[in-house]
Amino acid sequence: MQPRNRSLLSVTSLMLASIFTLAIAFVAPWQTHAASQSQPARASIPREYFAPYTDITMEHDFARMARDTGTKYFSLGFVIANTNNTCDATWAGTTSVSHGFMQSDIKALRAMGGDVIPSFGGAAGTELAIACSSVASLQAQYQRVIDAYHLTHVDFDIEGDAINNAPSIDRRNQAIAALQARAQAKGRRLVVSYTLSVNTYGMDPTSVALLQNAVSHGVNVSVVNIMVMDYYDPQTAPPNQMGENAIKAAKSTVNQLRGVYPAKTTRQLWSMIGLTPMVGENDNTVEVFTKQDARQVLAFARQHGIAELSFWAVELDQPCTGNRTPTNTCSGISQKPFDYDHIFDAYNK
């Protein structure tokens, strides 16, 4: 996932990331001190939750976001390799996790009863499993992030070139299995979600193969979070029926998961599903996810007891006032600030 327009805003996000990297240089000693403080892991995220994505190059005052939106869980995009494409976990390709970036912001959110789910991957930059050449080096980078932020949940958004890179898929799943084994040995649980592209007829074969590979390595995937957006296929996904498209995609995905997890019941399979639309106008601007679509998806999620509701992104959940046009800061539809947050946050109640 990336802000609209993906190809344009992918570059924009990296440019913004470069700016906040310079800022970090001046506050790093204080932030590093925060990183070293004891901050025990929490299991505050419930089994069924709403956690919208936020682009951390644009916003990371999570306590303020929680007050403004009423939402207390956030998915953070994205952790990738650095801009030299080396095996170094960074935020948006520029800010190393060792700088303690966002430590105080996350601590403030947790003090309010909230938490975060960092997402590895996304549509821009180089995914860590591609940059890291061995399972051990990849596991070490993932563990750095988990330890730095005392995480109980992590997400892997695998799309673009990464979904077709078989060696990196195998390397990633081996590393995740080792991470979960390490957590279990310490009496903890590491909740793993995979965020994958979808159409109304289901996931692509490459995404199914990724999950099958995860099973072969013993990865416990708790959530298969499908991106119900940007279908670019009006025959199978009519652009004026985005809520219904999301429901069809979810049903198709559950049917595919029966083959991946044959021992699970239908109810258990539904409890693995996550749904992530893009609010308002999608990158394919004829596709518009309306507030009524959001209400329809919320009702469906409650009916089936799915694991996760999310959306891309908190920054878009605003009206386009003045001269603003739908970009990475507004939805392109008539709305009040944080209308979509207020609808979907009912899933946390």
Q: Is the Cβ–Cβ distance between 235 and 188 less than 8 Å?
A: no
Calculate the alpha carbon distances from 337 to 50, 79, 107, 289 in Å.
Answer: 18, 27, 25, 16
**Closest to 237 measured CA to CA, from 284, 186, 276:** 284
Indicate the pairing of strand 191-197 with strand 221-227. parallel
Confidence check: pLDDT of 327 > 90: no
* Angstrom distance (rounded) from CA 45 to CA 67: 17
Question: Mean of the pLDDT values across residues 144-163?
Answer: 98
At residue 1, the pLDDT reads 80
Confidence check: pLDDT of 115 > 70: yes
At residue 100, the pLDDT reads 87
Confidence check: pLDDT of 310 > 70: yes
* Mean pLDDT estimate for the chain: 90
Q: What are the beta bridge partners of residue 224?
A: 194, 273
Q: Is the dihedral of CA 130, 131, 136, 138 positive or negative?
A: negative
At residue 244, the pLDDT reads 99
Q: What is the CATH number of domain 47-348?
A: 3.20.20.80
Q: Is the Cβ–Cβ distance between 169 and 210 less than 8 Å?
A: yes
Tell me the per-residue pLDDT of 162-180, one tens digit each, with 9 for 90 and over. 999 999 999 999 999 999 9
* Angstrom distance (rounded) from CA 12 to CA 140: 29
Tell me the per-residue pLDDT of 71-87, one tens digit each, with 9 for 90 and over. 999 999 999 999 999 99
32: its two tokens? 């590093």
151: its two tokens? 């995480």
pTM equals 0.91
CA dihedral of residues 40, 43, 44, 46 (deg, nearest 10): 170
Tokens 């403030």 locate to: 108
At residue 143, the pLDDT reads 99
At residue 131, the pLDDT reads 98
At residue 204, the pLDDT reads 98
Tokens 């990475």 locate to: 328
Count other Cβ atoms within 10 Å, centred on residue 344. 26
Question: Mean of the pLDDT values across residues 176-201?
Answer: 98
* One-character DSSP codes across 310-324: --B-GGG-S---TT-
Surface-to-core class of residue 323, CB atoms within 10 Å of its CB (0-12 exposed, 13-18 middle, 19+ buried): exposed
Half-sphere exposure of 88 (CA within 13 A, CB side): 14
Q: What are the beta bridge partners of residue 260?
A: none
Cα-to-chain-centroid distance, residue 301: 18
